[in-house]
């Protein structure tokens, strides 16, 4: 029960932040990515601002053995840079630039973004649904013929 | 609006506070694509209530805040469904392949100085920038 309550609170902060910052406005996101247009710096302030509490959260995490509500902390940050990370990120970035939406704002805007946001959201869910077999193919070890 | 960056900073601090709560209380990394994707492909069904509660908060707060904006909230989303569908599939598939998006790799990853978070963020920003410039200035599609 407490876990769900704190998840709701965390999601509430996330949703409120996305809403207040203007990150559900696709023009702001595309305006930040478009270095040849009327450049909009807002996104940099959002990302930078969000990293401040997170930076301290990671420091506090070091002082605790377990989370406040029990369970375990996520494992140490993996450092493996592979094709999967880069290919996936390039695909994500291309879609992000095309529509001006990423997963968080796509959810936060569902109540007021209108049909366009729902079309994007449903397509995003479809993309996530077909991901497991694609990932299996990408990570399958090469067949040895020798 | 002149004060956009101030609201951006305030919003960013709220986003980071959400991430801090999720990490320190629940022991989870606040990554939107992972939270949603785990529900979609079944990999996260063991903790589905926590994921649904988180997403409920993400939807609910804008519902509560919306009435405070007398002039409405601009989303400027394209009405080109082809672009929206292609973009949605790319975002859904790409974030699952890369294991993260702007919140997980960007906000949570970079703040812990994760090399993967930094590489992913550089890759999606460069791809997004090239995409916008190409499709807007090159092809005039968006």
HEC profile for A20-57? HHCCCCHHHHHHHHCCCCCCCCHHHHHHHHHHHHHHHH
Spatial CA neighbour of A96 closest among B127, B123, B138, B5: B127
Nearest by CB to A7, from B12, B53, B125: name it. B53
**pLDDT by residue (tens digit) across B6-44?**
999 999 999 999 999 999 999 999 999 999 999 999 999
Residue in A39, A82, A123, A23 with CA at minimum distance from that of residue B129 = A39
Express as a percent the part of chain B with pLDDT over 90.
92
Residue ranges of alpha helices (H) inside chain A are 2-21, 26-33, 42-62, 83-99, 103-108, 115-129, 131-139
Residue A78 pLDDT:
78
H-type helices in chain B, by residue range?
A: 4-21, 32-40, 48-65, 81-98, 110-111, 115-132
- The reply to whether residue A21 touches residue B88, judged by beta carbons under 8 angstroms, is no
pLDDT tens for each residue of A37-86: 889 999 999 999 999 999 999 999 999 999 999 999 998 887 889 999 99
Residue written as tokens 């509490």? A53
Cα A109 from Cα A93, distance rounded (Å)? 19
User: How confident is the model at residue A139, as a pLDDT?
Assistant: 83
Q: How many other C-beta atoms are found inside a 10 Å radius of the C-beta of residue A4?
A: 17
Question: Is B65 within 8 Å of A16 when comparing Cβ atoms?
Answer: yes
- Please name the residue of chain B whose CA is at the shortest distance from the CA of residue A131: B93
Chain A closest-CA separation from residue B2 CA (Å):
11
Cβ <8 Å between B115 and A12: no
Contact yes or no for B35/B51 (Cβ under 8 A): yes
Query: Per the structure block, which two tokens stand in for B75?
Result: 């989303």
Cβ(B87)–Cβ(A99) below 8 Å: yes
**CB pair distance less than 8 Å for B54 and A10:** yes
Count residue pairs from A and B with Cβ separation < 8 A: 495
Q: What is the pLDDT of residues A16-27, one digit of tens each?
A: 999 999 999 999
Q: Do A131 and B93 touch (CB under 8 A)?
A: yes
User: Of B13, B32, B119, which has the smallest distance from its Cβ to A53's Cβ?
Assistant: B13
Model ipTM over 0.90: yes
Chain A nearest C-alpha distance from B3 (Å): 10
**Per-residue confidence (pLDDT) for residue A143, from 0 to 100:** 62
CA angle A15, A17, A21 (to 5 degrees): 125
B46: distance to nearest CA of chain A, Å? 13
Residue B40's nearest CA partner among B48, B49, B29 is: B48
Indicate if the pLDDT at residue B108 is higher than 70.
Answer: yes
> Which pLDDT score is estimated for B140?
83
pLDDT at A145: 56
Q: Which residue of B has its CA nearest to A93?
A: B124
Report the residue from B30, B128, B133 with minimal CB separation from A96.
B128
- A136-146 residue pLDDT tens: 998 877 665 55
The reply to whether residue B75 touches residue A16, judged by beta carbons under 8 angstroms, is: no
């Amino acid at each position: 029960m407490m876990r769900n309550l704190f998840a709701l609170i965390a999601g509430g902060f996330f949703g409120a932040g996305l809403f207040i910052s203007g990150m559900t406005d696709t023009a702001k996101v595309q305006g930040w990515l478009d270095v040849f247009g009327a450049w909009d710096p807002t996104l940099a302030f959002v990302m930078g601002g969000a990293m401040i509490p997170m930076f301290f959260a990671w420091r506090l995490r070091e002082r605790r053995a377990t989370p406040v509500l029990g369970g375990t902390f996520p494992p140490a940050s993996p450092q493996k840079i592979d094709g999967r990370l880069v290919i996936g990120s390039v695909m994500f970035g291309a879609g992000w630039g095309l529509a001006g939406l990423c997963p968080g704002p796509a959810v936060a805007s569902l109540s007021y973004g209108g049909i366009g946001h729902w079309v994007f959201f449903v397509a995003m869910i479809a993309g996530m649904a077909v991901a497991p077999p694609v990932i299996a193919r990408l990570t399958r070890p090469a067949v040895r013929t020798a | 609006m002149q004060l956009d960056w101030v609201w951006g900073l305030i919003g960013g601090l709220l986003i980071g506070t959400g991430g801090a709560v999720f990490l320190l209380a629940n022991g989870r990394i606040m990554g939107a694509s992972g939270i949603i994707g785990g529900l979609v492909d079944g990999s996260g069904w063991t903790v589905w209530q926590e994921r649904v509660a988180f997403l409920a908060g993400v939807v609910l707060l804008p519902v509560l805040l919306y009435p405070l904006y007398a002039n409405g909230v601009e989303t400027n989303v394209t009405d080109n469904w082809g672009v929206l569908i292609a973009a949605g599939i790319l975002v859904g598939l790409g974030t699952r392949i890369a294991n993260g998006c702007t919140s997980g790799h960007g906000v949570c990853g970079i703040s812990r100085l994760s090399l993967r978070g930094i590489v992913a963020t550089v890759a999606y920003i460069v791809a997004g920038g090239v995409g916008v410039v190409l499709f807007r200035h090159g092809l005039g599609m968006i």
